[in-house]
Structures are given as structure tokens and as C-alpha cells.
Amino acid sequence: MVLESAPPQLSQSHCRQHRNTSLSPDAGTRILSFKFQILPIVAAVNLYTCSATGIIGQPRLTCRLGGALSPLNLNWDAQTVNWRIGIDTGGTFTDVVAVNTSTGDLRLHKVHSTPAQPAQAVIDSVLAIADHAGFELGDIALIVHGSTVATNVVITRTGAAMAMVTTKGFRDVLLIRRQNRPELYNLRSRRPPALLPRANILEITERTLSDGTIDVPVQDADIAALADQIRTLDVEAVVVGLLNSYVNPAHERAIGERLQGLLPNVSICLSHQISRSQGEFERFSTTVLNGYIQPVVSSYLEHLEEQLRTHEITAPLFMMKSNGGVSAASVTAARSVEMLLSGPAGGVVAGCALARQHSTEHLITADMGGTSFDVAMIYDGAGVFTQERMFAEQTIRLPMMDIDTIGAGGGSIGWVDVGGALRVGPQSAGAAPGPACYSRGGTQPTVTDANLVLGRLATRSAMAGGFELDVAAARQAVDTLATALSMSIEETAEGMLHVVNAAMTSAIRRLTVERGHDPANFSLCPCGGAGPLHGAELGREIGMREVVVPAMPGVFSAAGMLLSELREEQIHCHLGLLTDMMPGLPEIFDELLQEPTNRLLASSGATERMSVVRRLRLRYLGQGHDLAVNLTDGPLQQDAIEHDFHQHHSRAYGYDFEGDPVEVVAAWVSVSIDLQDTKAAVWPEKPVPAPVSRRSVIFDGTARDTPVYERPDLGAGYADSGPAIIEQADTTTVVLPGMAFRVDACGQIIIQTGEIHA
């Protein structure tokens, strides 16, 4: 068996920067809510006014923003339909942010997610926010949606039944995988199961050589015979992955077209269209993953669009993708694998804007929701990409935000293992039944219950949608653990927080320390509904000097989706020395632009404002890994490319081999259209606020009388020290005893993790 060359494992580059924006509340307004500082609505921001409005029956935020508009020049009329909506569906809550591009009004909302019928929560959130904001459904200009449907399909192994067609002799590539394994010295280590049985992997006689030459042509009779075999398997999708098709996809196209004609009701996925990269295992694995989730995601999107039409919502639906861009739902459906990090990617986009607004070059976003904890790095003001990652034990090779996810959220369940040790997660109570304190049928102790027991959450929690939280139910749930551990309820609750914080701290260390980065050089941005509850302690434990809590952390990802640009990317392997390939690079990039430009056109209806970023994946001759290097606009200069690569290599690994031959691994293009031009606004100064209440909060085993503030009361420049509880519509921020905090000019809360000494 002759394999394609073993590919490099990882490369990093920086995403394109997103522009700054800012929202802020009026100085005279006192409500349990706030303004967010990064939304793509205006080109110049002048004045803000705020008033109270009801969301889920409680006082919430109405904001008005003044300024000149930058109209969206795509498929809709921004003069007659003005509301743009970002929706992030999580495991527990579905977050929605709505912005009026004419008046600047901003609304936020949370509804419970509906895992059994995920489209229902999306519809519920749109209807609810339209009702409370008082706009007609026909006034919606666009909807950007981040969904967990693709993620859940892979995690729960509930995807489509599939067959695969591959080159004769390569049937077992998916089963053999690579030689690396997570437990190197475990002789009984088992490889994760493939997403389709070996019996469903079919072979066909054909061969394309490594230079693209067709050595053995494919025969139509063989394709027809394959179709007969596939009919007996009763599958929903067929993946076609042939050797060296990344160089010459002619055989894949021929097989795909013929099978689609013979099997019209079956989804066909071609490997060169999903991941046109060298290395047959990674390409096959990515395409199989796409085939596995595509029928489910397509069905979901069709159902969602049908429900939107039923409610006479005609706005275009865009889906958030793992690379931080968005595409039309119809385009995303064919490339469903790009949705695996749909929700968390919105948080990274928002984090990029926050980093530049806060003048912070390096930032770690820590998104703690109801079921998971997503951590990502912002370096030099931009998100970090990866070309390859594992997801639910499956290998993916696509450009995507480098996001690490663990099972740690507000709904994570505490339990005692066989050794009598306290554990938390990864199991979650989710949206149904949810934490015990939600009074929705949950009885198991969760992180949210522990925070309530310790006094860190109010009994009427804005984060939980304004309904009453049942302290007695939370204590009863935690007591089941306390009895098993022979501890008090309060000690057990604190123990749960220590355990879940340790898990999240480990995730941050993997992203920083284990990659050679000093956490002290980064700021921590806790977001998600539960992030600011834990942010100060995480920052202290990991050694970060400051924690930056954004103005709207609980719906951070949903807001980031409204910041995202329409983006399509394409990578094509072209192996050779840079010196030899320089004359042909312009033609390679011109050809590479065609497919992503067509996809962008399908999403936007126009490409007049399209911007293009060209990259090369480079390595020194003989290396097994590569780095992505952005190319400047204009004519390509070999000296400039090599200089940038040497610098990039030195920054990443601490050394370079200037003068050694540089090899091209792949060309990479990213095409995009910005939806808005924006500028930042200033958070107003306010009188020194008085606490709205005080309550007993337990810190390190000691109950402390702690002031409670409403976040909109904290004006720019306000400074104090912990302990303090700061409440707002979508989350609660905890400042630990001895930590100084202040509000900056953009409304962010800056917590200094070092204790104040007299």
C-alpha cells in the first residue's frame, strides 16, 4: 500500500481583526442590566439613552445608540428592515441579542434551550425578543445563529448511517489511523471506533498518482455496481474519498456525479470538496465526519427555516462557523462539519474586539455556560487558528478557531467516585431538568446549586431569566453529597467549586503553559452565564494579573455572532520548494479563489466589498510540521515571504534556520465581507454607587457580609475592593476578598487578582 505523505499536524495563524464598537448605559438609569461594548451597528457612536423594559417578566435593558449607520449592502433593504439578531444555543440556555440598525436600540434575552427540539428555542427567542422590543417580525433584517446540533450529533453518536467509497486497497485507512495514541505505554489501549462499520467501506478500482496523473481510469460499470451495493446498506449518506484526489479530483467528481444520479435521495460528500489537504487519513476522517452530521444538520436547518417562514420571518438565516465567520444556512448545510465549534467561535470573535478595545494584546476567553467550558487564546489582538484537532475522538483537518472544550458548566453535576473523592462533571443537568434550584425537576447537585448555597447567586437570579431560585432545593441536593462525604453543606458546596475550578484551570494551562506561554502575560476574559462567577478565582489560580469582565458576558457569543463577517476559506496542498513555486503562485491563488468566492456569492448575493487574505503553509525542507504565514497584498516577493516565515518560526519555537531552503506545503485563501463599520463609545461616569443590598457570602469557609451592586450603577472610573457581588441581567460577577476592581472607560470591570496589603 502506497500512502500519501504524512501531513504536518498543526499550524497557527491569526484571524483577521474585527473592528471595535461599544454600547453603554445612560448615567441616570438604574436597572438590573447593562450595555455591551462590541456590536456591529454603527460607524460613529455619539449618545446613549437607556430605559427599563420587561424581559421574562423582569426589568431588563433597552438601549439606544446614536450615530451614523453603515448600511448592509447584501440581499436585503437595510432602510426598511432594521433589526439584526444573534442567537447562541447552549446546552442550558439560548441567548439572543437584537440590535436596531436605525435607532441603535439593543435588547438581550435568554430562554431555556429545548434539546429535544432545538429549533423551538430559536423560534421562542425570536418571538420573545420581538414582543418585548415591540418590533414586527417582518422588520428583522438578518439572523445569525450558532448551534450545538452538529456538536451533539457527534458526541451522542446519533448521526446518519453512511457508506464510504475509496480506492481499492485503502479500505482500512480509517481504522488504522495514525500511529500516535493518547496512552503511549498502554498495551491495551484501544483506538476509538470509526463512525461507520468496516462493512460499509467499499472499494473501487482506480488510481491517481501523487502528481495528479491518472494511472488507472475509473469504470462506469464499477460505479453502477457500487450503487447496487449501497442500496442494500440502507444509508443516508455516501462519502467518496480517493487516494491523491487533493491533487486531481477528477475521479471523485465522476463517481460523485454518477452516484447522485443513481441514488438521488442519498447525500454525497466528496473529500476534495470538504478538506483538500495532503494525508489521506485526515482528509477521509474529516469528510466522513461531514457525511455523518450533514443529513441531521440539513434536516434541522430546513425545519428551522420552515418554522421561520411559518411565523412570516423572511430574514436570511446565517450560521456561525468554527473559523469565526458566517455563511448562509444553505451553504453551511453542505459543509456541516464547519459548525462543530459554532457557538464558542462567536465568543472568540467578541474576544478579539474586546482585546483591542481594552488595549490588551494577549487575552484568554473563558466561556462557562450551562454544560461546557470553552477556552481560547487571543494573541496580538487576534484569535489563533488551528488546522487540525481531535473532536470527540475524531480527527478534523479544517481551518478553525483553536478552542478547547471540557465538560464544566453551571449545570455540571457533583458526585462521589468509588474512592470516595468529590468529582464534578462532565455530566450536566442541562436545560431539562436543570439544576435543583431551578425547580424544573432536577434533584442532583450542580455548580449553580453550590453557588446559590454559598450566597454568590441571589435567590432571584437575573442570569436565570428572572425566576426565583429555590435555596432549599439547592441545599437538599448538595446535602446528598455532604452526607456521603461527611462534610457540611457549605463545605461541600465550596469543595464543588474548587473541583470545577481546578478542571477549568487545567484547560487554561494546556492552552498557555503547555505551549510555552506565560499566563502572567495574558488577561482573562470570563464570559458565558457562569464565567464571571468563577473568573476572579481562575485568574488568581492560573497566575494572571487581571481579569477583564466584558459588559455583556452572559450573551458574549451571541453578540460576537453579530460582529462576525461573511467568510469562506479554501486550502489546497501544493508541495514544493518556495524558490521553484514562486512563478506559479499567482495562478495557484487565482484558481484557489474560485470556489470560496462562489460560496460567498451564494451567501451574500454580491462580492463588491469582498476582501481576500492569502496565506502559505511553509516549513523548512525536511521538517514534518509547518506554519501559516500571511502574505501581503500586491506582487509576491520571495525575500519578504522567507523573512516573515523565519520570524514566525523563531517566535513559535525560539529558533530559525535563516538561509535554509523553505518548502511550501499548501496555499490558503480566506475571502470575506464585513457586515459593518463601527467605532467605540465611552462608558459614562456616574456618582459613587451605594450597594442595592448586602448579604452573607461564604469565601474560604468564612461567611462575610458582602455588598451587592447593580452593574449599570458602576460608572467609568469607579474603583473599590472585594468582597463584592455585581449583578446584571445575564450573569453575576464575584470579586474575591482583597482583590481591587475598577470600571474602565469602556465599561469593563477590571479585577486585579493580587490581594491588597495594608
Query: What are 635-656's pLDDT values in tens digits?
Result: 899 999 999 999 989 888 888 9
The verdict on 628 and 656 lying in the same domain is: yes
Reply yes or no on whether the pLDDT at 513 is more than 70. Answer: yes
Instruction: Using CB atoms within 10 Å of the CB of residue 621, give its burial: 0 to 12 exposed, 13 to 18 middle, 19+ buried.
Output: exposed
The verdict on 669 and 705 lying in the same domain is: no
**Residue at 458 is within a domain:** no
* Residue finishing a domain among 673, 707, 738: 673
The verdict on 181 and 294 lying in the same domain is: yes
Reply yes or no on whether the pLDDT at 147 is more than 60. Answer: yes
Tell me the CA distances in angstroms from 324 to 65, 96, 527, 568, one per residue in order. 26, 18, 17, 10
Residue scoring higher pLDDT (348 or 180): 348
Q: What is the predicted pLDDT for the residue at 190?
A: 78
What's the rounded mean pLDDT across residues 417-446?
Answer: 90
**Residue at 165 is within a domain:** yes
The verdict on 649 and 610 lying in the same domain is: yes
Contact 399, 668 (CB under 8 A): yes
Q: What is the predicted pLDDT for the residue at 175?
A: 87
**Residue at 63 is within a domain:** no
Q: What is the predicted pLDDT for the residue at 6?
A: 35
What CATH number is associated with residue 202? Answer: 3.40.50
479 CB-near residues (< 8 Å, 6+ apart): 489, 492
What CATH number is associated with residue 581? Answer: 3.30.1490
Bridge partners, 317 (sequence order):
143
Report the amino acid identity of residue 568.
E
Tell me the CA distances in angstroms from 334 to 269, 508, 708, one per residue in order. 8, 33, 49
What phi and psi, each to the nearest 5 degrees, are found at residue 305? Answer: -65, -35
**Residue at 490 is within a domain:** no
Q: The C-alpha cell of 549 is what?
A: 469582565
Q: How many whole angstroms separate alpha carbon 412 and alpha carbon 494?
A: 14
What's the rounded mean pLDDT across residues 329-347?
Answer: 91
The verdict on 250 and 164 lying in the same domain is: yes
**Residue at 23 is within a domain:** no
Report the amino acid identity of residue 453.
V
pLDDT tens profile 582-634: 999 999 999 888 888 888 887 776 666 788 889 999 999 988 888 889 898 88
CA nearest 478: which of 460, 497, 501?
497
The three-state secondary structure class of 67 is strand
Reply yes or no on whether the pLDDT at 406 is more than 50. Answer: yes
% of the chain surpassing 90 pLDDT? 52
Q: What is the predicted pLDDT for the residue at 330?
A: 87
Residue scoring higher pLDDT (430 or 214): 214
What angle in degrees, to the nearest 10, is found between the helix axes of 556-563 and 342-357? 80
Q: What is the predicted pLDDT for the residue at 676?
A: 60
Instruction: Using CB atoms within 10 Å of the CB of residue 675, give its burial: 0 to 12 exposed, 13 to 18 middle, 19+ buried.
Output: buried
What's the rounded mean pLDDT across residues 493-504?
Answer: 96
Q: What is the predicted pLDDT for the residue at 734?
A: 97
Contact 469, 457 (CB under 8 A): yes
The verdict on 579 and 644 lying in the same domain is: yes
**Residue at 281 is within a domain:** yes
CA nearest 687: which of 57, 46, 2, 29?
29
Confidence of residue 679 (pLDDT cuts 50, 70, 90): very low
CA nearest 283: which of 5, 542, 52, 580?
5
What's the rounded mean pLDDT across residues 493-522?
Answer: 93
Confidence of residue 168 (pLDDT cuts 50, 70, 90): very high
CA nearest 304: which of 318, 289, 320, 290?
318
Q: Which residue has the cell 474586539?
A: 353
Residue 667: how many CA atoms within 13 Å on its side-chain side? Answer: 21
Residue scoring higher pLDDT (67 or 358): 358
**Residue at 163 is within a domain:** yes
The verdict on 649 and 709 lying in the same domain is: no
Query: Domain span at residue 588?
Result: 566-673
Q: How many whole angstroms separate alpha carbon 156 and alpha carbon 745?
A: 45
Tell me the CA distances in angstroms from 17 to 70, 331, 740, one per residue in order. 18, 24, 31
Report the amino acid identity of residue 169.
G
Tell me the CA distances in angstroms from 587 to 245, 276, 289, one per residue in order. 20, 17, 31
Contact 357, 38 (CB under 8 A): yes
Least confident of 269-273, 390-394, 606-610: 606-610
Tell me the CA distances in angstroms from 646 to 14, 198, 361, 617, 628, one per residue in order. 16, 44, 22, 13, 12
Tell me the CA distances in angstroms from 221 to 205, 230, 251, one per residue in order. 11, 14, 14
Q: What is the predicted pLDDT for the residue at 451?
A: 96
The verdict on 256 and 169 lying in the same domain is: yes
Q: What is the predicted pLDDT for the residue at 755?
A: 62
Reply yes or no on whether the pLDDT at 23 is more than 50. Answer: no
Supply the pTM of this predicted model. Answer: 0.81
Contact 335, 328 (CB under 8 A): no
The verdict on 593 and 659 lying in the same domain is: yes
Q: State the total domains in the chain.
A: 3
Reply yes or no on whether the pLDDT at 112 is more than 90. Answer: no
What sign has the CA pseudo-torsion 89, 90, 95, 101? negative
Q: How many whole angstroms separate alpha carbon 208 and alpha carbon 272?
A: 13
What sign has the CA pseudo-torsion 350, 351, 356, 358? positive
Instruction: Using CB atoms within 10 Å of the CB of residue 601, give its burial: 0 to 12 exposed, 13 to 18 middle, 19+ buried.
Output: middle
Residue scoring higher pLDDT (461 or 250): 250
Sheet with 627-630, side-by-side order of all strands: 42-55, 58-69, 106-112, 93-100, 83-89, 140-146, 317-320, 326-328, 566-577, 662-673, 611-620, 627-630
Least confident of 74-88, 559-573, 628-642, 720-734: 74-88
The three-state secondary structure class of 328 is strand
Residue scoring higher pLDDT (298 or 357): 298
Q: What is the predicted pLDDT for the residue at 48?
A: 26
The verdict on 571 and 634 lying in the same domain is: yes
Contact 367, 405 (CB under 8 A): no
Confidence of residue 219 (pLDDT cuts 50, 70, 90): very high
* Residue finishing a domain among 298, 325, 350: 298
**Residue at 109 is within a domain:** no
The verdict on 641 and 744 lying in the same domain is: no
Confidence of residue 80 (pLDDT cuts 50, 70, 90): low
* Residue finishing a domain among 673, 706, 721: 673
The verdict on 751 and 642 lying in the same domain is: no
Mean per-residue pLDDT of the chain: 83
Q: Please confirm whether the linkage preceding 426 is cis (ω < 30° from 0).
A: yes
